[in-house]
């Protein structure tokens, strides 16, 4: 059995998987309403085919043998073969009955969530979410885990992530970030009303494209469209699509989604096409993926240097709205820190309290420490404690996110991991890319992209997240980098006196 044969099989699996992704992209962008029914059928058929191929007994044999006789393989090939065998064995643990039950429960749960959210009544959601949580606890047993059952859930989105490490990270969030946000709340507050004037969408669209071009997103290997929820999807590194959302009464929505998805897109475009279908041609994890979007969105896009390069242009698009808003006011306005109820509208600091709360809840659910029926109350108490806000409706509280209805437990922490990795990577980039901030000020983002390509993108999944972080920055993920970044930036924005951090 040869490596080539393994490669061919994985390439074929990828062909189908990317075709499913293409259907998904179409569904979110251009598919007419009536297309939904047969589209669901087409996707289900292809999903069945791809599952069959990924769990095919012959593939299992090829993988076993390849791993047994791996002496002649390169290090990269060895790692690919081992990762694929692990994935294969994991897939095999799912019985057809379990997959079907999960699929049925997901449909039921999603419908109940929609209904409950519309009525802002959590009790409607309780029976099916209870079923989902029970099923997820069974899934953890079926997959097996060391330590905490939540580890089995995390592993699906962030391979090798462990409760033991995340507990340390989120303890830092709870202790350091909560206190820092309190300091900010005590300072003189800034204004962002200008963000909510009328911003016609054609010009927003044009400005967004200019931002993507400046980021060196390759339009010959991608395109941008509009969708309800912005996302990035890829059919190969040579066809990576991003979407954005434009609100005429909120300039932030387009700017942040454009840069954020652009960051995801650059990662996908930077993966090696020669490794198509193989682990070495894939992203490492959701956390690392999110580190790429957030590095561009937060560390670059919400920075002063970036707007020194772009604010005049933006003003020229909307002279009436922005002629009296200075660069300094614009910068402070778009970096407003203010605890709020809804995660996706949160600023880059209080955002992590939203994740902290979901992390604590998911862990407790997996342990069986809290019941689904107690969630609304538990949620509201945590929002009061960490964010100081009173939740007045379930729709804006415990029902705000769709993830649990999809069975995605263990997903939320990857958002915070993304920001923390981003801060650590960006700190390293500043050391290694000569005059990085000056280049950003001049609108020259290529040196940063080249650094990311070289250090992160081109390796695909050769490294694990932890290995990558150590290789790129010299140490494993450390919350200190995010906290330093936050203190440095926001102490200046809010004129806080502070002990100087490096």
Based on CB atoms, which residue is closest to Co ion, 84 or 416? 416
CA distances from 316 to 150, 236, 313, 319, 448 (A): 50, 37, 5, 5, 27
What is the smallest separation between the CB atom of 64 and Co ion, expressed in angstroms? 36
What is the smallest separation between the CB atom of 264 and Co ion, expressed in angstroms? 6
Unique residue bearing structure tokens 């983002």: 445
- Among the listed residues 28, 158, 261, 290, the single catalytic one is 261
* Two structure tokens written together for 349: 């600091």
Measure the CA–CA gap between 77 and 85, rounded to whole angstroms: 12
Residue of minimal CB distance from Co ion? 293
Integer-rounded Cα radius of gyration of the chain = 23
Measure the CA–CA gap between 47 and 45, rounded to whole angstroms: 5
- Which of 206-231 are b and which e, b meaning 16 or more Cβ less than 10 Å from the residue's Cβ? ebbeebbebbbbbeebbebeebeebb
Based on CB atoms, which residue is closest to Co ion, 149 or 270? 270
Measure the CA–CA gap between 129 and 126, rounded to whole angstroms: 5
In the annotation, is 362 catalytic?
no
* Burial category of 236 from C-beta neighbours within 10 Å (exposed 0-12, middle 13-18, buried 19 and up): middle
- Which of 335-345 are b and which e, b meaning 16 or more Cβ less than 10 Å from the residue's Cβ? bbbbbebebee
What is the smallest separation between the CB atom of 485 and Co ion, expressed in angstroms? 18
266, 283 Cβ separation under 8 angstroms: no
- Single out the residue of 77, 90, 455, 457 nearest to residue 282, CA to CA: 457
What is the smallest separation between the CB atom of 255 and Co ion, expressed in angstroms? 15
CA distances from 323 to 31, 311, 314, 450 (A): 40, 11, 10, 35
> Which residues sit at the interface with Co ion, rule CB under 5 A?
293
Based on CB atoms, which residue is closest to Co ion, 105 or 232? 232
- Single out the residue of 347, 375, 348 nearest to residue 362, CA to CA: 375
Based on CB atoms, which residue is closest to Co ion, 259 or 445? 259
Based on CB atoms, which residue is closest to Co ion, 279 or 418? 418
What is the smallest separation between the CB atom of 348 and Co ion, expressed in angstroms? 13
What is the smallest separation between the CB atom of 14 and Co ion, expressed in angstroms? 22
What is the smallest separation between the CB atom of 418 and Co ion, expressed in angstroms? 7
* Burial category of 110 from C-beta neighbours within 10 Å (exposed 0-12, middle 13-18, buried 19 and up): middle
Based on CB atoms, which residue is closest to Co ion, 293 or 419? 293
Based on CB atoms, which residue is closest to Co ion, 59 or 215? 215
Unique residue bearing structure tokens 């995801």: 264
Which are the catalytic amino acids?
261
């Amino acid at each position: 059995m040869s490596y080539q044969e393994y490669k061919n099989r994985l390439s074929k699996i990828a062909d189908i998987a990317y075709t499913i992704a293409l259907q998904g992209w179409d569904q979110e962008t251009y598919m007419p309403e009536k297309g939904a029914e047969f589209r669901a059928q087409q996707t289900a058929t292809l999903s069945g085919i791809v599952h069959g191929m990924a769990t095919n007994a012959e593939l299992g044999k090829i993988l076993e043998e390849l791993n047994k006789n791996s002496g002649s393989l390169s290090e990269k090939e060895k790692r690919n073969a081992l990762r694929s065998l692990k994935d294969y064995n994991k897939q095999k643990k799912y019985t057809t009955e379990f997959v079907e039950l999960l699929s049925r429960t997901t449909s039921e749960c999603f419908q109940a969530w929609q209904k409950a959210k519309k009525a802002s009544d959590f009790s409607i959601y309780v029976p099916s979410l209870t079923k989902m949580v029970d099923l997820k606890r069974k899934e953890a047993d079926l997959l097996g885990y060391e330590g905490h059952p939540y580890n089995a859930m995390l592993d699906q989105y962030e391979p090798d992530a462990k409760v033991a490490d995340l507990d340390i990270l989120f303890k830092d969030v709870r202790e350091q970030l909560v206190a820092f946000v309190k300091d900010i709340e005590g300072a003189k507050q800034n204004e962002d009303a200008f963000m909510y004037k009328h911003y016609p969408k054609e010009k927003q669209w044009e400005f967004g494209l200019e931002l993507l071009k400046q980021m060196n997103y390759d339009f010959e290997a991608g395109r941008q469209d509009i969708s309800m929820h912005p996302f990035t999807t890829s059919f190969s590194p040579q066809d990576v699509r991003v979407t954005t959302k434009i609100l005429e009464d909120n300039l932030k929505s387009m700017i942040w989604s454009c840069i954020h998805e652009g960051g995801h897109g650059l990662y996908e475009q930077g993966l090696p096409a020669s490794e198509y279908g193989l682990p070495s041609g894939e992203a490492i994890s959701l956390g690392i993926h999110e580190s790429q979007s957030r590095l561009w969105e937060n560390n670059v896009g919400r920075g002063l240097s970036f707007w020194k390069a772009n604010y005049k242009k933006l003003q020229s698009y909307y002279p009436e709205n922005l002629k009296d808003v200075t660069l300094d006011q614009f910068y402070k306005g778009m970096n407003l820190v203010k605890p709020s109820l809804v995660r996706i509208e949160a600023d880059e600091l209080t955002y992590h309290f939203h994740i902290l709360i979901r992390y604590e809840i998911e862990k407790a659910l997996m342990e069986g420490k809290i019941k689904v029926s107690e969630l609304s109350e538990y949620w509201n108490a945590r929002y009061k404690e960490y964010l100081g806000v009173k939740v007045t409706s379930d729709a804006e509280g415990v029902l705000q996110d769709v993830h649990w209805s999809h069975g995605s437990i263990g997903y939320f922490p990857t958002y915070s991991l993304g920001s923390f990795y981003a801060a650590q990577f960006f700190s390293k980039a500043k050391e290694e890319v000569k005059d990085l901030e000056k280049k950003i000020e001049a609108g020259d983002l290529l040196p940063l992209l080249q650094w990311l390509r070289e250090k992160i993108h081109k390796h695909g999944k050769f490294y694990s997240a932890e290995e990558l972080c150590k290789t790129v920055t010299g140490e494993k993920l450390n919350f200190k980098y995010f906290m330093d970044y936050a203190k440095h930036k926001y102490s200046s924005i809010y004129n806080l006196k502070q002990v100087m951090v490096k």
